[in-house]
Structure 1
Amino acid sequence: MVCVAHSPDADDLFMYYAIVFGWVSSPLGQKFENVALDIETLNVATIKGIYDVSAISFGAYPFVRENFALLRTGVSFGQGYGPKLIKKKATHLKKNFRVALSGEHTTNAIIFRLAYPEARIVYKNFLEIESAVLSGEVDAGVLIHESILNFDSGLVVEREIWDIWQEFCGTDLPLPLGGMALRRSIPLNKAIDIEATLSKAVAVAVRNKKLLSKMLLERGVIRVNENELDTYLNLYANNDSIELNAQQKQGIDKLFELGFEAGIYDILMRCEDYFIPTEYGDLRFS
């Protein structure tokens, strides 16, 4: 049984549930089970090596590179959008403002720390960030997942993480948010099969978006309404989620470069060096 861990946000559920509903199966007959946890919990769990396959922030991947390979599918990028730094109206942020972030290893946290080195950071579950700002516990917070679509009217966007990313890049590269990682100890033929099965699940989900969305809403596993779900999936679970393209790979490499230059990562990485070697698909044993 292969355990696939993903976040409970709409795009991860959408991309995985073609397997749950039996629309996609493994050519090798591998069986899948899933667990849904918030993304920072999954980042830490992957660092500890808990799950076979897990959603992971691209910003966390360098910390697990020796024990996990990157998958080319199930990816979420920002393209003109992404996490939002929000605050209460009329609040002026000082250099050392208090801010709530969704986790130390998330991509948005890494980019935020590069842009605001003097900010005082508190890490919280992403579902608690909006209320922390509204209560005055913190001066600001970075909203992620579906929270970017519908937050309290008393809050305003101070800055888009997308804009910060563009300033660092100097070009229009997509913002690498979340991907998937697979344990390297899994035999190669099975690893290739897992990636192919997950890729097919994402492709089937995207092609059958309306039906799958309806089924997820009927089962009450989605935190947003129908219109918000449609908007969110258009952003984060679309044709560009099926398989990494060249521009997306450049975006990942730029994130790794920024992290290395800031001393966050210990080596300069290229994502191409960390994928499963699918050219060995004819092998039956690793």
Structure 2
Amino acid sequence: MRKISVAHSPDADDIFMYYAIKFGWVTPKDAVFENIADDIESLNQATINGVYDICAISFALYPFVKDDYALLKTAVSFGNGYGPKLVKKKDVRLKKNFKVALSGEFTTNALLFKIAYPDARVTYMNFLEIEQAVLDGVVDAGVLIHESILTFDDSLEVERELWDIWQELAGKELPLPLGGMCLRRSIPLTHAIDYENTLIKAVKVANKNKHILSDMLIERGLIRVDAPTLDKYLDLYANDDSIELSELQYEALDKLYELGFKHGFYENLIKSREFLIPSEYEELRAK
């Protein structure tokens, strides 16, 4: 049995979308998935260094790793009217060059923030530390991600929604691309197709059995939030739109990469569909 390393973040939506495999509800063919959980920027850096076979990444990272990893069309997280939040202490006025904490250099929120606030002084830290850094005055503001967008301290207020920044930059209402998964290109194509299909099935099964799976995750202490917050969070980021990329989501990804190229963050302009696993090979091979 081949052992395939699958890395995902420890936040609720990634765990939810993967654990149908961990709990044995869905199993890959002729392979064993070994899962690793780490914060998203650590996973971004690990993907740059080619550490894992399959890895969750920020969508903004993908153009940097496209030659070594194929983009998967499942286990995706998009914002739709919501997303990361730029927060500060109440009644604080931010200067043009305010100091801000972001969750990582290659995160999608960092890309959009730096386009919108080119004069801000950026520092990077683990996403779990950002709220406290703002409260302690270590930074003037911070961009909150994951579950913290629902649970931040009452003494903080939202300066700006990343969703609003995205809509302004995109020029039309598109879902906000946040995170997805990628797969090492050196994996044989037939195996790669099997692995992606396994992940697609896992997300489908998770969504279909949402309440059962959520209860199991909470009972085992795998989630940082309580049941009502988990339900709300999964409604945002792990839902029917997470199973397979839609036409609108492809358009949103292409707009993200266009913006990154236009503002000098990427050397080349890419189109997301050109970097998927060619799953049609399986059908052609069967003919």
Q: How does 1:163-182 map to 2 (within 5 A)?
A: 163-182=164-183
Residues 28-48 of structure 1 show CA distances to partners (whole Å, capped at 9, x for unaligned) of 321111000000000000000
Q: What amino acid sits opposite 1:254 in the alignment? A: K
Q: How does 1:31-50 map to 2 (within 5 A)?
A: 31-50=32-51
Give the number of equivalent residue pairs. Answer: 283
The answer on whether the counterparts of 1:59 and 1:105 sit within 8 Å (CA) in structure 2 is: yes
Identity of aligned residues (%): 65
Q: How does 1:19-58 map to 2 (within 5 A)?
A: 19-26=21-28, 28-58=29-59
Residues 104-141 of structure 1 show CA distances to partners (whole Å, capped at 9, x for unaligned) of 00000000000000000010000000000000000000
Question: In the alignment, is residue 226 of structure 1 matched against residue 227 of structure 2?
Answer: yes
Question: In the alignment, is residue 64 of structure 1 matched against residue 38 of structure 2?
Answer: no
Q: What amino acid sits opposite 2:98 in the alignment? A: F
Residues 122-171 of structure 1 show CA distances to partners (whole Å, capped at 9, x for unaligned) of 10000000000000000000000000001011000000000000001111
Residues 161-183 of structure 1 show CA distances to partners (whole Å, capped at 9, x for unaligned) of 00000001111100000000000
Q: What amino acid sits opposite 1:189 in the alignment? A: T
Residues 10-65 of structure 1 show CA distances to partners (whole Å, capped at 9, x for unaligned) of 00000000001110012x32111100000000000000000000000000000000
TM-score, normalization: structure 1? 0.98
Residues 229-276 of structure 1 show CA distances to partners (whole Å, capped at 9, x for unaligned) of 000000000000000000000000000000000110010100000000
Q: What's the counterpart of residue 143 of structure 1?
A: 144
Q: What amino acid sits opposite 2:252 in the alignment? A: G
Q: What's the counterpart of residue 12 of structure 2?
A: 10
What are the ranges of 5 or more consecutive residues in structure 1 without an aligned counterpart?
none
- How far does residue 283 in structure 1 lie from its aligned partner after superposition? 7.8
The answer on whether the counterparts of 1:73 and 1:179 sit within 8 Å (CA) in structure 2 is: yes
SS in 2 for 1:149: helix
Q: What's the counterpart of residue 132 of structure 1?
A: 133
SS in 2 for 1:277: coil
SS in 1 for 2:5: strand
Tell me the distance in 2 between the aligned counterparts of 1:202 and 1:283: 26
Tell me the distance in 1 between the aligned counterparts of 2:194 and 2:81: 33
The answer on whether the counterparts of 1:83 and 1:148 sit within 8 Å (CA) in structure 2 is: yes
Q: What's the counterpart of residue 275 of structure 2?
A: 274
- How far does residue 80 in structure 1 lie from its aligned partner after superposition? 0.2
Q: How does 1:82-97 map to 2 (within 5 A)?
A: 82-97=83-98
Residues 185-237 of structure 1 show CA distances to partners (whole Å, capped at 9, x for unaligned) of 00000000000000000000000000000000000010000000000000000
The answer on whether the counterparts of 1:188 and 1:283 sit within 8 Å (CA) in structure 2 is: no
Q: What's the counterpart of residue 205 of structure 1?
A: 206
Q: How does 1:176-195 map to 2 (within 5 A)?
A: 176-195=177-196
SS in 1 for 2:252: helix
Tell me the distance in 2 between the aligned counterparts of 1:265 and 1:95: 25
SS in 2 for 1:77: strand
SS in 1 for 2:159: strand
What are the ranges of 5 or more consecutive residues in structure 2 without an aligned counterpart?
none
Q: How does 1:249-268 map to 2 (within 5 A)?
A: 249-268=250-269
Q: After superposing the two structures, state which structure 1 stretch, 275-284 or 240-249, moved more.
A: 275-284
Residues 62-86 of structure 1 show CA distances to partners (whole Å, capped at 9, x for unaligned) of 0000000000000000000000000
SS in 1 for 2:268: coil
The answer on whether the counterparts of 1:189 and 1:283 sit within 8 Å (CA) in structure 2 is: no
Tell me the distance in 2 between the aligned counterparts of 1:153 and 1:226: 21
Tell me the distance in 2 between the aligned counterparts of 1:129 and 1:226: 23
TM-score, normalization: structure 2? 0.98
The answer on whether the counterparts of 1:88 and 1:156 sit within 8 Å (CA) in structure 2 is: yes
The answer on whether the counterparts of 1:100 and 1:142 sit within 8 Å (CA) in structure 2 is: yes
